[in-house]
Homo-oligomer: A and B are copies of this chain.
Amino acid sequence: MLDRIRIVLIGTSHPGNIGAAARAMKTMGLSQLAVVAPRCDPRDGEAFARSSGAEDILEAMQQFETLEAAVTDCTLVVGASARSRTLPWPLCSPRELSASLPGELSGSDTGLALVFGREDVGLSNSELQRCHRHVHIPTSEHYSSLNLAAAVQVLAYECRQAWLTTTPVTSPEPFGVEWDNPLASHADTERLFEHLERTLINIGFHDPDNPRQLMARLRRLLLRSRMDSMELNILRGILTRIERHGDPNGNDHPR
């Protein structure tokens, strides 16, 4: 289970924090580290110094230009978020995340990405809106300045707790019942959102110059439901049909 958990660090400024995150991961048995558009050399000497024996994780670390690319094959994307947002998003505590993991990661093609933002400004709204859920580490109301590696440590610890409590699971999460289709991948889900946005523009429902929160709300709605692959295909089929329907040259409704 732990080998299906990827720690994704976005826009990290200090290589020492990447090294300390690698160390934190390794103490808890995690191994997959990805950095996205780091604002430093992620394999700087300081990273290796702070990793303190977790060099193997730094050496196997993957680097990506975008969050998209880093989580393409993941079925559950969870963003670590300190701030409460203007648009509320499904939120869980580290404990709740931990409790859900044995079920979430029981399927054969499942994968979790835990996404951490920049030291100074965290994750952007756009990044947060690519997540199924947010996880908030409950910090003091008077001082919430959790170091990046410390946040990784706490969530990695909760992941390990989940793994330790895993007895052979028959518990068929995430929906409390054995499901009939595999969950949709992140990449397929993003293609659906692109298709959806295109279609809404074409039919004149969505004005990209005045987007308000439309796409964010539709993302929130569909990400919350954890689409399976067949559901996703049905929605894509509907969108394709809508496009042809309104197109006088379409094949389905020639006129």
Residues of A within 8 A of B (CB): 20, 23-24, 26-29, 52-54, 84, 87-96, 133-134, 137-140, 142-147, 149-150, 153-154, 157, 160-161, 164, 172, 175-180, 200, 203-205, 214, 217-218, 220-222, 224-227, 230-231, 234, 237-238, 241-242, 245-246, 248, 252-253, 255
Contacts and interface: CB of A to CB of B under 8 A. Distances in A.
Given A26-B142, A88-B177, A138-B161, 9 more contacts: A27-B140, A53-B143, A90-B177, A134-B177, A137-B157, A138-B160, A150-B150, A154-B157, A222-B225
- Determine how many copies of this chain the complex contains: 2
B253 A146 contact: no
B217 A221 contact: no
A216 to B, nearest CB: 11
A133 B248 CA distance: 42
Nearest to A204: B252
